[in-house]
Amino acid sequence: MDSLRDKVVVITGAASGIGRALAEECARHGARLLIADVDAAGLARLHDTLVAAGVSCAMQPTDVADAAALERLAAAATARYGGADVVINNAGVTLVAPVESLDPADAQWLMGINFWGVVNGCRAFLPQLRQRPQALLVNISSIFAMISVPTQSMYNASKAAVRAFSDALRGELAGTGVGVLCVHPGGIRTNIVESARLRDISMVADSPEGMRRRFRTQARTSPEAAARAIVGAILAGRTRLLIGADARVLDALFRLAPARASAWVVALGRRMRRREAAAARGAAAESCGPAPARVRRARAASPGRCPAGSAPRRRRGTAGSPRPAPPRPGPPRTAARGRARRRRAPRRVRAA
């Protein structure tokens, strides 16, 4: 696709994150927009912002897990613009839970959005996309389609399903004017973890806030950078896109050793967590004074705090801390004193 000017672009999950950044980026390229999200309030704010900037934009609150809702969205695209040129199936959520304690309702919720949302979007819009001389489906997967990690089994499965579905659909549409682009982002600084369903996270973090803090630290790519990369791939006619250095490294690792890549990544994650825990214990020990054995045991169990019975160690130079006395200067050593000492030293006589 040579240009997005005057093209009709439909974006799901547009109220925040990559979806919002995509709407703004497509608008900069002159596209006409139909944006959708289950968050009606956030969607309305984005719609008002775009319209105030002079962008041709329509909105429709949509739950992508509902196939009928996607049919209504497709009908809105036809009614407003005569049909879509590009459909970006972006809506997604995450769930953190071990398989053994997984609630089937949580699993169905995630698969309904991450996988069936993509399927529903493709099926609803394909009839009108086929009427265009050139059209494109953009399905957002993840680098976790290749690399799997503990407590993310359903997220991994949904994104791997999107990847396989997109590859199969691309083969079915070969020879038509409809292309399929599958996108695999790495860590993107969105609010996906803020809205995630966090169940038993003990395998990966000590607290929900600690998990969110680690995600914010490790997610290096901004939504705006991700949107620019996706629009660039649309214009270049690509079929596969990796976003972020982390995604490219993990994809290379997966290609190098498909059977071992996930195990290596999991081992690295555990090592990083142990290192963070050791650093926290070290910081706690640095700020706490000597303590009996029972307090040391409590300190090890509660890193980051000074247990009862141990006083915070005072730093040098703080009020109330005694300063060491300066060393007493001795007599200066002179050359004459050194010669006198050598004259007084007895000579050693070698035995015959």
Cβ atoms 31, 37 nearer than 8 A: no
155 is catalytic: yes
Helix (H) or strand (E) holding 32: strand 32-37
Compute the distance between CA of residue 210 and CA of residue 204 in angstroms, rounded to an integer.
10
- For residue 239, give the 3-state DSSP assignment: coil
Measured in whole angstroms, the distance separating CA 87 from the mean position of its chain's CA atoms is: 24
Q: Which of 81, 115, 125, 155 is catalytic?
A: 155
Strand partners, 188: 221
Compute the distance between CA of residue 211 and CA of residue 48 in angstroms, rounded to an integer.
34
Question: CB burial class (10 A; 0-12, 13-18, 19+) of residue 309?
Answer: middle
- For residue 140, give the 3-state DSSP assignment: strand
Cβ atoms 251, 144 nearer than 8 A: no
The set of catalytic residues is: 155
